[in-house]
Amino acid sequence: MADSSLPSSTLSGEAGGLTAAPGARAWVVLGMLCFVYVLNFLDRSLLSILAKPIEDSLHITDGQLGLISGLFFALFYCLISFPSAGSPTKRTVSGC
């Protein structure tokens, strides 16, 4: 049974358990995550949307654009991942 000292708007009784309703901070975090997701989607699709204007302005072929957007991006991503993966392992964790 719900405690009468708590406001009923913040509680929902389901099978005898009490759960708090999400607060304003949770909605702000959800909004920020949705915004970052939209930016991530736009960032990933922007090169394909602008492929033809990029080809025209740089005077490159479809194959060259494919290398830039595929192979060279993958190589760059792999090479950058090694230094960034090693940096957290150099730190020591204390207080455990």
Same domain for 40 and 59, yes or no, is: no
Report which of residues 19 and 72 the model is more confident about. Answer: 72
Same domain for 57 and 39, yes or no, is: no
Same domain for 16 and 37, yes or no, is: yes
Domain region containing 66:
50-89
Number of separate domains in the chain: 2
* CB-count burial class (<10 Å; 0-12, 13-18, 19+) for 57: exposed
Report which of residues 87 and 20 the model is more confident about. Answer: 20
CA distance 72 to 67: 6
Whether pLDDT at 1 is above 60 = no
Same domain for 68 and 40, yes or no, is: no
Report which of residues 44 and 6 the model is more confident about. Answer: 44
Residue 6's pLDDT is 52
Would you say residue 55 lies in a domain?
yes
Residue 90's pLDDT is 64
Report which of residues 51 and 34 the model is more confident about. Answer: 34
Same domain for 40 and 58, yes or no, is: no
**Is the pTM here over 0.95, yes or no?**
no
In eight-state DSSP terms, residue 10 is G
